[in-house]
A and B are shown apart, each in its own frame.
Chain A
Amino acid sequence: MRYVKDVALVVRSKNAGPYELTLDLMFPDENTYDEVRGSITKERIAELYKIDVSQVLSIVHFAPAHAVKITLVRPRPSGDLGETDVYGAQQHAPLFDLTY
């Protein structure tokens, strides 16, 4: 078992519009990308974030950037009352616990 963070080049989060949060994992080469991407599932993400699987909208594999993109429903829209990260730029840390 290895940590995805140890082989990923980029682990980041950002708004995809005010109602969705998108997480990108990017890998240095095709081999690493192919080795890791299969283990990134909606269930694993839901478990890491302790959210319902239905809140994980999509997982898309994007070969040209050796990237896996995960999109979540934002718990609250950007800037709504009680919301904590207007740009959504610091919601990626739970991915550091992802293993493969």
Chain B
Amino acid sequence: MEEIRVLSPTAILGYGFPLASFEAGLERDPHVIAVDAGSTDPGPFYLGSGQSFTQRSAVKRDLHYLVAAALERNIPLIIGTAGGSGAMAHVDWNLSIVEEVLRELGRTASIAVIYSDIERDLAVEKLKKGEIQPLGPVDQLTEEDIRASANLVAQMGLEPIMAALEAGAEIILAGRAYDPTVFAALPILKGFDTGLALHMGKILECAAIAATPGSGSDCLFGTLGRDSFVLEAPNPARQCTKLSIAAHTLYEKSNPYILPGPGGSLDLTETVFEELAGGKVRVSGTKYVPTEQYFVKLEGASLVGYRTVSIAGVRDPIMIEQIDSVIAGVKERVADNFQELKDYHLHVHCYGKNGVMGELEPTPVPGHELGLVIEAVGPSQEIADTICSFARSTLLHYGYPGRKSTAGNLAFLYSPSDLSAGAVYRFNVHHLMQVDNPNSLFKMELGRSGL
């Protein structure tokens, strides 16, 4: 086998793809269809709550085409970070959609499901042995953090996915997985270079975002040879250029030369990007450098409370001039009125002043109108509703110095003015954990499903 071909249909399962692009990708005769389904970008809620940031009907639409094509061509379909965050609830949700699609297609398939949830006791034991360390500007982990995680997952490397392929799975649903692994596992199993396979996966993972014009809902195709790989967009409206591919290497990471992952790093210091005719780019020279100890990334999110928000505008110049002291006065009034409630968070975001950048805003100068978002988070929805409602009515009638608009301070966008926004989570684990065996953490279940 001199080359191996990988089709990445879309940046995130559920983001969609044009059928013509997908068919053009299939015409290039891929050996595997792989897709990343996850991201931490949408924030901690999804990992914490077990919900997906994609919609079921959109995921089902994509899976319908992916499952049908993979089974028809007898090539594996590999889905990474199933359900968006890769915890058991996410994976099972994604599995139920695959099963529904199989029933509708009248097909059966052997499905491997790989869970990435970490037993709290195991993590605590590892912590006590000193085998967990912060990843980036994060505090040391504590046992309380581990116990408080609503979901705690580890990011799997190549090994569990390769094991599922060797076990003969036609469809693989992986929990939290290092993004490139779903694209790289089959090539590496077939003896292709690990560094090149992972680097190709790193680019395929975001699909046509790496092409120009970029798109998160279109395909990218990778062909891996013995000493380089070539990327192209099946959609003729998109090109891969040296710059678009190299630029993608920068995306969402802090150092483009050294890209760390489970068990090792990709070293791009010698990488060469070459533009070929026909909108293709060849990449070579990337090396994989295994680490002495195998580390996996742990991700956890814990429940903070429940949120209620109220949105309103201010146009009065006298009030805008003193908005900071008005908000401080309202917060004081709320605290004074609910002295028994200590455990709440009340914040008023000021769009038009520093709503986007918060404390990072170098020029917090208000414009001629402000958009306020009153946000209350409390230990129950009722408390959040109470604090938000009280802050809102206090702000509405707050008497600041020099006030002339004595009928009310706020232009409410909606009635009802307050929106109960439900559970709030925060990331509380972002650490590296040392493991002896990169397979043993991740439980695989293999079964036949469908019809």
Set of chain A residues within 8 Å of B253, measured between Cβ atoms? 16, 22
A41 contacts the other chain (Cβ, under 8 Å)?
no
Set of chain A residues within 8 Å of B249, measured between Cβ atoms? 62, 64-65
B377 contacts the other chain (Cβ, under 8 Å)?
yes
Picked from A10, A20, A81, the residue with its CB within 8 Å of the CB of B247 is: A10
Set of chain A residues within 8 Å of B135, measured between Cβ atoms? 17
Set of chain B residues within 8 Å of A94, measured between Cβ atoms? 362
- Report the Cα distance A90→B136, complex, angstroms: 22
- Report the Cα distance A64→B272, complex, angstroms: 8
- B136 in contact with A85 (CB, 8 Å): no
- A62 in contact with B250 (CB, 8 Å): yes
Taking the closest CB of chain B, its distance from the CB of A92, in whole angstroms, is 10
Q: In the complex, what residue of chain B is closest to A76 when comparing beta carbons?
A: B358
Per-position 1/0 for A15-29, Cβ under 8 A of B: 111111010101000
- Report the Cα distance A57→B45, complex, angstroms: 27
Picked from B43, B243, B362, B425, the residue with its CB within 8 Å of the CB of A50 is: B362
- B41 in contact with A87 (CB, 8 Å): yes
Set of chain B residues within 8 Å of A17, measured between Cβ atoms? 40, 135-136, 252, 430
- A78 in contact with B255 (CB, 8 Å): no
Set of chain A residues within 8 Å of B304, measured between Cβ atoms? 81
Set of chain A residues within 8 Å of B250, measured between Cβ atoms? 22, 24, 26, 62, 65, 67, 69
- A51 in contact with B360 (CB, 8 Å): yes
Taking the closest CB of chain A, its distance from the CB of B42, in whole angstroms, is 7
Interface size class of B (residues with CB under 8 A): 35 or more
- Report the Cα distance A43→B283, complex, angstroms: 35
- Report the Cα distance A18→B299, complex, angstroms: 10
A84 contacts the other chain (Cβ, under 8 Å)?
yes
Per-position 1/0 for B409-434, Cβ under 8 A of A: 00000000000000011110010000
- Report the Cα distance A53→B442, complex, angstroms: 41
- A75 in contact with B247 (CB, 8 Å): no
Set of chain B residues within 8 Å of A49, measured between Cβ atoms? 360, 362
- Report the Cα distance A64→B245, complex, angstroms: 9
Picked from A50, A71, A76, the residue with its CB within 8 Å of the CB of B254 is: A71
- A26 in contact with B247 (CB, 8 Å): yes
Per-position 1/0 for B134-172, Cβ under 8 A of A: 011110000000000000000000000000000000000
Residues of A within 8 A of B (CB): 10, 14-20, 22, 24, 26, 48-51, 57-58, 60, 62, 64-67, 69, 71, 73-87, 90-91, 93-94
Closest 9 CB pairs of A and B: A79-B43, A65-B246, A64-B246, A71-B254, A84-B358, A86-B43, A65-B247, A79-B44, A16-B254
